[in-house]
Amino acid sequence: MKKTLLIVAALAVFATAAMAQLGTGGTGARTLIQNGVGDWTSTIATGTAVTSTTTIIDCTKQKEVCLQWRQTATTGSGTADNTMVVQASVDRVNWVTTWTPVLAPSGTAGTFTQMHTNISVGAIPYIRVYSITTGANTVALTNYSVKYSMK
């Protein structure tokens, strides 16, 4: 009985350590940004930016990140590109703009557009979505989200 308990305890410790190494990889998409939640306003007005310093992704255990960005406007037909600023940091204090994916609205009110971008972070331990800026002739965004998955 003692041997069985020792074996079960050893397996539990091993399984816990193995799962800790997985981080968020392999767990499917996680929501990073949702309009109206946290620092992110419910609407991004035409030609303006919304910023946040709290949307940080820990990449210390994975080297590949996929961002999925979805957006829609409730009215209008603007098609100017909207821009996302993705920054990188080694210490979570000093940030550098590293990627700037763009996504054009559909031009039809109420129609979602989306894009995926794969980012190879290599040795960069932290990235964050710092801002989303709407284009000059784009109608205000009222539905937007960013999800991510890691590998």
Specify the pTM: 0.77
Residue 6 has pLDDT above 50, yes or no: yes
Residue-averaged pLDDT of the chain: 80
* Position 87, amino acid: Q
109 or 97, which is more confident: 97
pLDDT number for residue 7 = 57
pLDDT in tens, 104-133: 887 777 788 899 999 999 999 999 999 999
pLDDT number for residue 45 = 81
Residue 57 has pLDDT above 80, yes or no: yes
Per-residue confidence at 25, pLDDT binned at 50, 70, 90? Answer: very low
Return the domain boundaries, the chain: 27-150
Query: Given the structure tokens 């550098």, which residue do they identify?
Result: 96
90 or 35, which is more confident: 90
The answer regarding whether domain 27-150 maps to CATH 2.60.120 reads yes
Length of the chain: 151
**Dihedral, CA of residue 55, residue 44, residue 113 and residue 130, to nearest 10:** -20
Residue 47 has pLDDT above 90, yes or no: no
Beta strands in the chain (DSSP E): 30-34, 49-51, 56-58, 64-73, 82-89, 96-99, 102-103, 113-120, 126-133, 141-150
